[in-house]
Amino acid sequence: MASVPAEERFRRWHLPWKERVCEEVTPFSHGTVFRSLRHPDYWEYNCIRLDRPMAASEMIAAADRELVGCAHRLAEWMIPMPHDVVDDLRQRGWIATPLIFMLHDGRALHEGRGAIGEVDYDAVRELREIWHREDFGEHAETDTFHVQAREVAELARVRVIAALEDGRPTGFAQVETHDGGSEVSQVFVRPERRGAGLGSTLTAFAVRTAAAAAPDVWICERDDRPRRLYERLGFNAVVETGVAILPPGR
């Protein structure tokens, strides 16, 4: 597998997964529409995926047309999207985020200090809700959403690592594995505990966990600060993608 170019390894790992989760996968002019009737409140699995750029107005119209019945709208793209399109989406009230998927180079990572170990998925629900509010404001995740999110994560053999202080999680990382690759899919630290290296320690622990499960370890970043951290830990940028979300009620 190492002889296969990194971008091709990404596509073999990343692209089939959503087709496996979603019951409805249909082509449209610029890509693919994904719908999951089993997980209607899980935004990521009810979306349009673009294989080539669209103007913001066209993207919104396509999402409105293809995602009828969903309380949200979500578009993702597998190619670099022009900055003016991203800016236009933001001006129209969407949360538009360019992303970069990064591949770990396989270097050994040192263990950090502190009480860190694997926990049950639901042990960090409070942290998940804090993170959600940071990203999407006071839009509330429902119990139904949490059930659906856990079902999807369990399909990818989810493992959750948490840092504990007096038995209380102060940060967590999530690892999901499928199709020959593992992803450190979430890393989050309580706001009051940031800046002390806990995020780096959690990420390193998660990378070791992911590497034991699959030959390729991926992570997705969305701004420069975590990217610099991930590069220090041995990750290299491979593919530019992105996502735009219009949450319910906006």
The CATH number for 130's domain is 3.40.630.30
Structural domain count, the chain: 2
Q: Which residue has the higher pLDDT, 228 or 27?
A: 27
pLDDT of the residue at 249: 78
Residues 6+ apart with CB under 8 A from 71: 41, 248, 249
Q: Express each pLDDT in 81-110 by its tens digit.
A: 999 999 999 999 999 999 999 999 999 998
Read off the tokens for 20.
Answer: 């496996």
- Kindly state whether residues 160 and 69 are assigned to the same domain: no
- Give the 3-state secondary structure of residue 151: helix
The backbone region for 107, taken as left when phi is positive above 0, alpha when psi lies in -120 to 50, beta otherwise, is: beta
Are 59 and 140 found together in one domain? no
Nearest alpha carbon to residue 216 among 104, 130, 68, 69: 104
Q: Domain range spanning residue 135?
A: 116-236
pLDDT of 16-30, one tens digit each? 999 999 999 999 999
Cα separation, 232 vs 245, in Å, equals 30
Residue type, 211: A
Q: Please tell me whether residues 140 and 229 are part of one structural domain.
A: yes
Residue 161 in this model has a pLDDT that exceeds 90:
yes
Q: Residue 134: which pLDDT band, with cuts at 50, 70 and 90? A: confident
- Mean pLDDT estimate for the chain: 92
Tell me whether residue 246 is in a domain. Answer: no
Amino acid making up residue 38:
R
Rounded Cα distance between 146 and 150, Å, is 6
User: What's the pLDDT tens digit per position in 33-49?
Assistant: 999 988 888 899 999 99
Strands (E), 136-234: 159-165, 168-178, 181-189, 216-221
Please indicate, yes or no, whether the overall pTM of this predicted structure exceeds 0.95.
no
DSSP string, 35-76: E-TT-TT-GGGSEEEESS---HHHHHHHHHHHTTT-SSEEEE
* Residue with tokens 């995740």, as numbered in its chain: 141
The verdict on 135 and 53 lying in the same domain is no
What is the pLDDT at residue 115? 87
Containing H/E element for 121? Answer: none
